[in-house]
Structure formats: structure tokens, C-alpha cells
A and B are shown apart, each in its own frame.
Chain A
Amino acid sequence: MSNGTSNTASNATRLAPPLAAARTYPEQKPSDVYLFGTCVLDLFFPDAGMDAIRLLEREGIRVHFPQGQSCCGQPAYTSGYTDDAREVARAQLALFARDWPVVVPSGSCAGMFRHHYPELFAGEPDTLKQVDALSARTYELAEFLLEVCKIRLEDRGAPVKVALHTSCSARREMGTHVHGRALLAQLEQVERVDHDHESECCGFGGTFSVRMPDIAGAMVRDKTAALKGSGAAEVVSADCGCLLNINGAFEKQYERLRGEHLASFLLRRSGGKADGGQS
């Protein structure tokens, strides 16, 4: 089962129909792209960012990483501090001015660029034009590798069972769960296994996990239990917020399992050098 549009696991979960169908992709692979690294990845999963860069470079693409970039603004936005979020967003806008695609190794930050920036600047017609253009050329990493680069991955690793956790934004805002699945399906020795309530949130939700620790804690405990129970030897996700949440919980539970960023996993399996991701 690799098309990702249905879920036969008997876990009463469902996957949204792929939104990706609504998006058209450029025919040509571009020569240059921007990488927006995201603030969580920057500090906690920098190797995953480097692996994303290497994957893109291996596809013959020049990667630009504007050093002035920081955060997409999402933490303030979802906390209701809209003005602060808008100013942080504005600071990013200026850095991605060329018409190269912006590739984001995180579904939720990609969703912020793509869907919420236009909301943030709805009241500024001049800026909105720029924002709409940015939104139109923003891609989540897995989506970009598959649909724009048309990547072909050759598996060099040993047989392994892998569970894929997709973030809620990746799935519901970006529709990129299908891309993560399709990329894993290219790896011959990798068997992707379903886990219980796969489409349910891991409980991160940015400040939610700090504001409502009891509820968020119950959610992440169920998620880690489902991942453990799936029989997977490795856990992969393309969202650093979820990874921070899931790995932090695994560590607290003295579990050996850790989630790895999809970029690191793909690069490692396909013979590129990966710095890790098991941090």
C-alpha cells in the first residue's frame, strides 16, 4: 500500500484525500532554490537541514541559505500575537526575493508561508502581491523532491521496517503525507508499517504542549506507544516540531527508539553521507 490515499490499518483513522492534486508543479527542475531552515531545526536538528541541502545538491540544484533568516512567525501567530508574527514574517519576506522556489524541511512552517502569510498581509495590498508570489513557490521538502525534482532513490541499506509520522500541517495544510510515503516506497528494502491512529496529532502544537501539559502529555504518550507498537525499527518524520516532541517523550520514557528526519533517512539509505539525525 504505497499510494497513501487509503489506510487499511484497523485503527479507525483516515487520511485526508491528497490536496496535492490541486497544485500544479513546474515541469523543469530549477537551477537554484532557497532553503528556509526553520528555527526548531536550526537549533535542534541542524544535521537534518544539511542532509536536505545535500539531497537537493545531489539533484543538481544550487541551494541558497539566506543567513538573515530566523523563524516563520508561527509561534506568535498561533498564540494570538498576530502583529509580532507579521513583523517576523516581514523580515523573512525580504530575504527570499528572487523567484527561486523556497524549500522548507517542515510541513508546518511551509504551511505558514504558503497559507498563513497571505492571511497575515491581507490588509497590505502591496506586500500581499509579494507574499502571494512567495506562497506560490513554497514547497515542503518531500513534495519538492518528489514532484519537482522527480527524484529516484536507490536503496543501499538493509531491510528495515519504518513508521512514518506526518505532522498535522503536512497532512492537512500541505497534503504532503502522500509524498513522504511515496519517497519511502522508492526504497526497496524499506517496509513502511502503519501505526495505530496514524493520522492523529502527536500533541505538540507549539505552545499547546506547555500550556496544556496534561492533555498534550496524554497525546504524546499514546503516539509513542503506537509507534513502539507498530513493529517499526525506525521512526521517520519530516517535521522537527513533532520530532522534538516525540523524541523528548521517548527519551523521558527511557526508550531507545528515536525519530529521524526524513531528509537524513533518505540520504543515508540512498548512499549519501548523513551526519545523523539521531540527536
Chain B
Amino acid sequence: MNAPAIPMTFKCRAHDAVHDAQLRRNFRGAMDFLMAKRAAQFPDGDELERLRSFGNAVRARALSKLPELLERLETNLTRNGVKVHWAETVDEANAIVHDIVRAHEARQVIKGKSMVSEEMEMNHYLEGHGVDCLESDMGEFIVQLGNEKPSHIIMPAIHLNAGQVASLFHDKLEVDYTEDVDRLIQIGRETLRRKFYEADIGVSGVNFAVAETGSLLLVENEGNGRMSTTVPPVHIAVTGIEKVVENLRDVVPLLSLLTRSATGQPITTYVNVISGPRKAEELDGPQEVHLVLLDNGRSQAFADSELRQTLNCIRCGACMNHCPVYTRIGGHAYGTVYPGPIGKIITPHMLGLEATKDLPSASSLCGACGEVCPVKIPIPAILRRLREENVRAPDDEPRHMRGQGSKYSRAEGLAWKGWRLLNTSPRLYRLFNLAATRLSALTPPKLGPWTEHHSAPKAAPRSLHELAREHLGED
């Protein structure tokens, strides 16, 4: 049976994206802006390095005791009155949310920004069950209005410029066309504001789940997160199991790294710390708070010491902002919820390598992502590792990943064996070089994909081996 044609479609989407001049301009401009903002936050390279090492250590420590911290988190959240649910798959997570929705006979859900809810395709799922799920983050709202998916984990609508948003609002909200960004935001806010009071349930993501205190931290800039988690009578937070940290002290460096790396802000406008539902003497807040902890393949990454580092991620998006591939093709071309470098290394655990096999190859391994990652995930090394898992024989033991060997090819394996023979046998290598240099004139003018953008490379008349032999003698 052939695997679904996802590899082709990635290349097709990438092809279309690099030829979309408007999209290229939008992304280049936006990424340049975000890179400059981040750079301005870290004027001192040494401080940045120290902070990154600190952030890495905090995340590594949390992961090293992940099961224990998750248990503590559950205990302390429960003590605070938060109901904790565990979901291994997105289907389970959706079913949990649906149960809560049903119990409250909810018709309208309002949602703050949450990539895990995107992972679950919660909007789509709830819609299928007759429940309207409205996005309250401005970027998400725009994307939902346009029937699109987020193209960036922090800036969901970054692929659109003001003119495109203006047209969208004009069409869908029937307002006068304006490219005035402040006015556009105003229009969006007015539309949303009404909905906050109509919603039965508010959904949010989580940036850090603090085990020691049983608190959920949520950062945002628009206040929609605070509205979504406090106005409706029920709040459901959804998050991945890796988001747990040990204590509030650990949050300090991570928060600083997150906001500075993501949007170049010293701190976000809002930092919400949610530690349970409304207490008897309190005037506001939800009556019920739920946390859904989702695995969705994270355990597979966790089980391998190298791949586990993927779970250090604090979802700042800096890796995509600095990625030359992401900048060229944008977020949608990846066809995955998480685009860019982090998407390439986390999605194979969620969907299996068979459905994502082209992603690890879509990198020049330039290292820009690893250089900026605030928690020092060695993204290029992990990409290389995924390539290795991709080309291993499907039945090779031990197995580390679902979809191992999805790019396994006997022919390619043999070609590399030939390459190995050539490069381990000096006499063969000498013969090859002799042939390559002497027959250089016979180089065909077309060499597969290479000559789409380059002329065919021609070997020099004599190799360095020959020239050096003449100059230095045999060595």
C-alpha cells in the first residue's frame, strides 16, 4: 500500500509559496521585523547565553522528573478546585471537552489563543456537535473569519497584510473598507466584546503549568485571554503534558526568554496566573475550571534522550522567525499545525513519520533555529536524527518512532554504500577523480533539480590530490 501523497503535496505547496510574491513579501517583512525586535531585547550576548543555558537547565530538570511533576500538578490543581483530565489522543481530548460542554448545555464557546486546541481541531470538532467556537485572539479571529489556519504559532495571521485584512473584514463583517490598523483592531474588538458575555464556556491554552502551586500561567497582549478565562462561567484550559514546570521560581527565566524571544517584549501586557475557580468571597471568575492534559505523541519523544529535548519548547516562535525556509514558504506550506523548525521536529511524533517524512529534509541545516532557540533545543541535530529514522529499515530494532523507515529505499541505501566504498578506498577514489577531471567536458548541461537554478558544475582539469602530489610529493 502506498502512503498518502503528503510528500508531493509538501513540495507542491512549497513550490506555490515560493512563487507567490505577495506572500514572500509579507513574510520577509514580518520576519525581519520580529528578528529586529528580538535582537533589541538581547543587546548583551553574554547575558543571552547565560539565560538560555538557565532556561535549558530548567526545562531539562522539569522533563527529567516529568511523571512526578505531573502527579504533583494534578494533586495541587485538584486541591485548588481545578478538575484535571488526561487525554492520550486528540480524540480523547475532544471527547473530554465535549462532555463538559454537554454537561453545561453550552452553545457558545469563546477561545483564547491555544495551539493545543489547534492540534485537536477543536473548533471543527465542536462545530460538528452543534457548538459554535469563536476565536477571541485578534489573529486567530482573522484566520477563523477567512476560513484559514494559523500560519505562525504566535502570530496566526502574519501571512496577511493590512489590505488583505481590510478586504476580509469588509466582506465578512460588512463594515466600511479601511486599512487603518487601529480601526481594524477596533472593529474586531467590538465584534468580540459582545461574544464574551454570551459565551457559556471559555477555552484557553497554558504557557506554564506550575506543579508546586497548582497554577496555570497564561501570557497574552490583548486581554482576550483574561476575558476568556474569567467572564464565562466555565473555563477549560488545554495543554500538552510537557508544559509543566516545578515551581514559580522556574517560571521567571522562562517567561523572560519567552516574551523577549517571541515578540521582542520585555513582558507581555497580561500575565494571567490561574489557580482555581472563583472562591466564595470573590466577585468574579469562573465557577468551574478544567485542565485537559494532552499527550498526542509527546511520550514517544520523551522516551528518547535526544528526541526528548524537543519537549523543552516554550513555543516562542523564534525558530520560525529566523528560519530561511519558513521565511520563503510561510506557515501554511508545511501543512501541519506547528510550522517551521519546531513543527518539523514535533509533528513527526504527533502524526508519525509516514505522514511527515519530507519535513526533516526541508532544511539546509543552517542552524539559525538552534542559535536563537531560548531553551537551546539542538534543532539541526534533531532534524538529522529524524532523517536517520526516516531512512532506517522499517523493521530495524530498536524502534524509536512511529513511521520509522518511511523514506527507506534500497536503491538509495546502495548508492550510499557505493559512496562509502569510493571514499574509503584511496585507489578507487584516485581513479574516480582522474575520470571526473579528465572527462569534465562530458558533464551533461542538465543535472536533475540542481540545474533548475544553477549551471552544471564542471570539475577542474586536475584535482587537488594531483596538484598537491606534484608540489609536495606522495605523503
Q: Is the CB of A205 within 8 A of B366?
A: yes
The A contact surface, by secondary structure, is: helix
Instruction: Give the chain B neighbours of A216 by CB distance below 8 A.
Output: 364, 453
Q: Is the CB of A78 within 8 A of B365?
A: yes
Partner pick for A220 among B370, B454, B459, CB 8 A cutoff = B454
Interface size class, chain B:
35 or more
CA distance A223 to B181 in the complex (A): 33
Q: Is the CB of B18 within 8 A of A80?
A: no
**Interface 1/0s, chain A 84-122, versus B by CB < 8 A?**
100110110000000000000000000000000000000
Instruction: Give the chain A neighbours of B329 by CB distance below 8 A.
Output: 215
Partner pick for B328 among A47, A205, A215, CB 8 A cutoff = A215
A211 touches B (CB below 8 Å): yes
**Nearest CB of A to B377, in Å:** 14
CA distance A76 to B419 in the complex (A): 9
Instruction: Give the chain B neighbours of A78 by CB distance below 8 A.
Output: 365, 384, 387
CA distance A78 to B413 in the complex (A): 14
List B146-199 residues whose CB lies under 8 Å from chain A.
none
Question: Contacts A214-B18, A215-B18: A84 and B454 contacting too (C-beta < 8 A)?
Answer: no
Instruction: Give the chain B neighbours of A217 by CB distance below 8 A.
Output: 18, 452-453
List B375-422 residues whose CB lies under 8 Å from chain A.
384-392, 413, 416-417, 419-420, 422
A81 touches B (CB below 8 Å): yes
List B438-475 residues whose CB lies under 8 Å from chain A.
448-460, 462-469, 471-472, 474-475
Instruction: Give the chain A neighbours of B453 by CB distance below 8 A.
Output: 213, 216-217, 220-221, 248-249, 252
CA distance A231 to B448 in the complex (A): 33
Instruction: Give the chain B neighbours of A65 by CB distance below 8 A.
Output: 464-465, 468-469, 472, 475
Q: Is the CB of A205 within 8 A of B365?
A: yes
Q: Is the CB of A17 within 8 A of B49?
A: yes
Instruction: Give the chain A neighbours of B458 by CB distance below 8 A.
Output: 44
* Nearest neighbor of B35 in chain A, beta-carbon distance: A12
Q: Is the CB of A14 within 8 A of B15?
A: no
Segment among B53-61, B66-74, B282-290, B423-431 that sits at the interface with chain A:
B423-431
Question: Contacts A80-B390, A168-B367, A211-B361: A68 and B426 contacting too (C-beta < 8 A)?
Answer: yes
**Nearest CB of B to A198, in Å:** 12
Instruction: Give the chain B neighbours of A73 by CB distance below 8 A.
Output: 423
Instruction: Give the chain B neighbours of A11 by CB distance below 8 A.
Output: 32
**Nearest CB of A to B419, in Å:** 7
Instruction: Give the chain A neighbours of B36 by CB distance below 8 A.
Output: 12
Q: Is the CB of B11 within 8 A of A212?
A: yes
List B309-327 residues whose CB lies under 8 Å from chain A.
324-325
CA distance A209 to B365 in the complex (A): 11
Instruction: Give the chain A neighbours of B389 by CB distance below 8 A.
Output: 80
Partner pick for A43 among B33, B384, B392, B433, CB 8 A cutoff = B433
List B17-73 residues whose CB lies under 8 Å from chain A.
18, 24, 32-33, 35-36, 39, 45-46, 49
List A209-259 residues whose CB lies under 8 Å from chain B.
209-221, 244-245, 248-249, 251-252
Q: Is the CB of B465 within 8 A of A14?
A: no
Partner pick for B471 among A50, A210, A219, CB 8 A cutoff = A50
**Nearest CB of B to A205, in Å:** 3
CA distance A12 to B46 in the complex (A): 20
Q: Is the CB of A215 within 8 A of B362?
A: yes
A49 touches B (CB below 8 Å): yes
Query: Which 9 pairs between the two chains have the least Cβ-Cβ distance?
Result: A205-B364, A248-B454, A80-B387, A201-B366, A213-B449, A217-B453, A17-B45, A80-B388, A12-B32
20 contacts between A and B (CB under 8 A): A12-B36, A17-B46, A39-B423, A41-B464, A67-B426, A67-B465, A67-B475, A80-B391, A80-B392, A81-B391, A84-B417, A173-B367, A210-B450, A212-B14, A213-B449, A214-B11, A217-B452, A218-B18, A218-B24, A248-B456
Binding site for B on A (CB under 8 A): 11-14, 16-17, 35, 37, 39, 41-47, 49-50, 53, 63-68, 70-71, 73, 75-82, 84, 87-88, 90-91, 168-169, 172-173, 199-201, 203-221, 244-245, 248-249, 251-252, 279
